Homo-oligomer: A and B are copies of this chain.
Amino acid sequence: MPEYGKGTSAGTAVAELGRADVDDALVRLAGKVLRTPVIRSEQLDAACGARLWLKAENLQHGGSFKVRGALLAVEHLAAAGSRGVVAQSTGNHAIAVALAARAHALPALIVLPDDAPGTKVRRIREAGAHVTFAGTALAERTAVVAELRERHGYDVVDPYNDPRVVAGQGTATAELLSQTAAQGVRLDSIVVPVGGGSALAGACLAAAGHGTRVMGAEPENVPAFTAAQRAGGPVTVPARHTVADGLRPDRIGDLPYALARPDSTRVLTVGESAITDALQTALWLARLLVEPAAATALAAALVHAREAGAGTDIGVLLTGGNVEPALVMRLLAHTAPAGRRPGRGTDAGALSA
């Protein structure tokens, strides 16, 4: 596997990465991560007119799919004699690195944004990692990461620009493809949320040659992928607030951007109301608690389902379930549930593409 960031360019790493790396990751992660279930909901299908296949990574160790890439990356560092790891993240990668470091008996330093959800901060500390807070923008966190790496001589586990992280995240999509194939279904498309881009890049690697279209979903308020497509490469976008805290990175990673086939990959942008509606839809119709980042993918999938129509099979990567109870309460109160048919809100035109 290419050692990206150690003298290897994104272009070289992209050329060398492929589905075989995801298959290798599947083998290495076997028994260490959960093969999470794929959930169907007849009510959800009736509401959107297609068949949705929900990969429930909200039920994964650490509460998100990020443990896949983090375990793969930290396993490699530990084998290479690392003294400890440093990572920045809006939350889930941090939990994942903390858990992976504990599994390999390495110390972990985690840099979080000031507004990281308390639930995530708690889980990171429970895994024995040390937490530092640094502003709200990606650049602020990466500066602190660089400083901590220098001071301690630890290795950085990048949330996006690491081939192992991307290949690891790709195993969620690989499992989804294999679990649906086992039921005789070839997915027409898979929708994944886009923050730093590792889920999208991993999905593109995993689905290569499968005839399944990979689509992204990002908040209208942080359209980092769409802006990069427009600019012809990753750019930093103004960091407006989004409820999808997992999708707050204001710039796509170079490596995931290159892997995500930006010339042909479609990324839908999702409004804040549609994210909230989709979180409610997941809860009331599919009976799953997901975090807003995962709801962003579901929101986009519901829009895509209406375009694609009956008989279409759409996979949705429900990336995580680490969400504050208080935030859930606020989002559920967003429209009065009494008298309102659950899921109806997702019909509202709060989405743009």
Q: Is A284 an interface residue (CB 8 A)?
A: yes
Question: Hey, what's the 0/1 contact readout for A315-349 against B, CB within 8 Å counting as 1?
Answer: 00000010011101100110001101010000000
Q: CB-CB < 8 A to A110: which residues of B?
A: none
Contacting residue for A326 out of B59, B321, B337, CB 8 A: B337
Binds B, one of A36-44, A68-76, A83-91, A141-149: A36-44
Contacting residue for A338 out of B59, B290, B325, B337, CB 8 A: B325
> From residue A1, how far is it (CB to closest CB) to chain B in Å?
29
Using CB atoms, name the residue of chain B closest to A58: B287
A47 to B118, CA, bound (A): 18
A338 to B63, CA, bound (A): 19
Using CB atoms, name the residue of chain B closest to A338: B326
Is there contact, CB below 8 Å, between A329 and B325?
no
Interface size on A, residues (CB 8 A): 31
> From residue A147, how far is it (CB to closest CB) to chain B in Å?
32
Question: Hey, what's the 0/1 contact readout for A59-71 against B, CB within 8 Å counting as 1?
Answer: 1010100000000
A329 and B321 contact, Cβ closer than 8 Å, known pairs A39-B59, A42-B61, A288-B289: no
Q: Is A283 an interface residue (CB 8 A)?
A: yes
> From residue A47, how far is it (CB to closest CB) to chain B in Å?
12
Q: Which one of A37, A280, A325, A332 has the greatest number of beta carbons of chain B within 10 Å?
A: A325
Contacting residue for A287 out of B288, B340, B342, CB 8 A: B288
Q: Is A34 an interface residue (CB 8 A)?
A: yes
A337 and B329 contact, Cβ closer than 8 Å, known pairs A61-B42, A288-B287: yes
Given A328-B332, A329-B337, 10 other A-B contacts at CB below 8 A?
A59-B286, A284-B289, A284-B325, A287-B289, A288-B288, A289-B289, A325-B332, A325-B337, A326-B338, A329-B329
A positions within 8 Å CB-CB of B: 34, 37, 39-42, 58-59, 61, 63, 119, 280, 283-284, 286-290, 321, 324-326, 328-329, 332-333, 337-338, 340, 342
Closest A-B pairs by Cβ, 10 of them: A325-B337, A37-B37, A326-B338, A287-B289, A287-B321, A58-B287, A326-B337, A284-B325, A283-B289, A325-B342
